[in-house]
Amino acid sequence: MPKQPNPESAVQSGAFKAFIAEKGLRATRQRMAVFEAARTIQGHYTAEDLLKKARSLDRSVSRATIYRALPLLVGSNVIREMDVGRDQKYYLAEAGSATFRAQLICENCDSIVEVDAPFMEWYGKAVAAKHGMRPLSQKLQVTASCLNDRCPRRKPARS
């Protein structure tokens, strides 16, 4: 039986194509491979992870294509970009969550956990309004240390 097309994927693909067309760009085979890879990688990933996944879909995808596509993917809300204070940025497929998301980052193993933080949207708006401003962006990141034994780089507790 043939695989049924995902209606959400078709809508997102159409929105991405319209977004890049507004920028005067074409939906090339390589750009669409990057789009598909960005949408389907599970969890947080780096540009290098995206390159590997996109090349598994289309061998002709270059590193330059990835770095030119990332701002388009972020700008069209296909993915979110996160700077967690490391040497590289991380990305996550945008799931269209209605609530604000915060990140919990393990300082030992660099794992990133997304948590709902609906109070942050209210807080950002309230504080900005108090000072006659409108919030443009905000983030909440908590750096922590894994407490479970599965953390590959867990440091022993101090006495």
Q: pLDDT for 44-78, tens place per residue? A: 899 999 999 999 999 999 999 999 999 999 988 88
Please tell me the predicted confidence (pLDDT) of residue 102: 76
Question: What would be the CATH architecture of the domain defined by 1-96?
Answer: Orthogonal Bundle (1.10)
Can you tell me the distance from the alpha carbon of 137 to that of 98, in angstroms, rounded to the nearest whole number?
A: 15
Please tell me the predicted confidence (pLDDT) of residue 2: 47
In the chain, where do the E strands start and end?
A: 79-82, 90-93, 101-106, 112-116, 141-144
pLDDT band at 18 (very low <50, low <70, confident <90, very high): very high
User: Looking at domain 97-159, which of 3.40.50.300, 3.30.1490.190, 3.40.50.2300, 3.90.550.10 is its CATH number?
Assistant: 3.30.1490.190
- Alpha-carbon separation of residue 44 from 6, 40, 132, 156 (angstroms): 22, 11, 35, 26
Please tell me the predicted confidence (pLDDT) of residue 19: 92
Segment 108-126 shows an average pLDDT of 79
| Cβ atoms 75, 113 nearer than 8 A | no
Can you tell me the distance from the alpha carbon of 138 to that of 44, in angstroms, rounded to the nearest whole number?
A: 19
CA 8 from centroid of its chain's CA atoms:
18
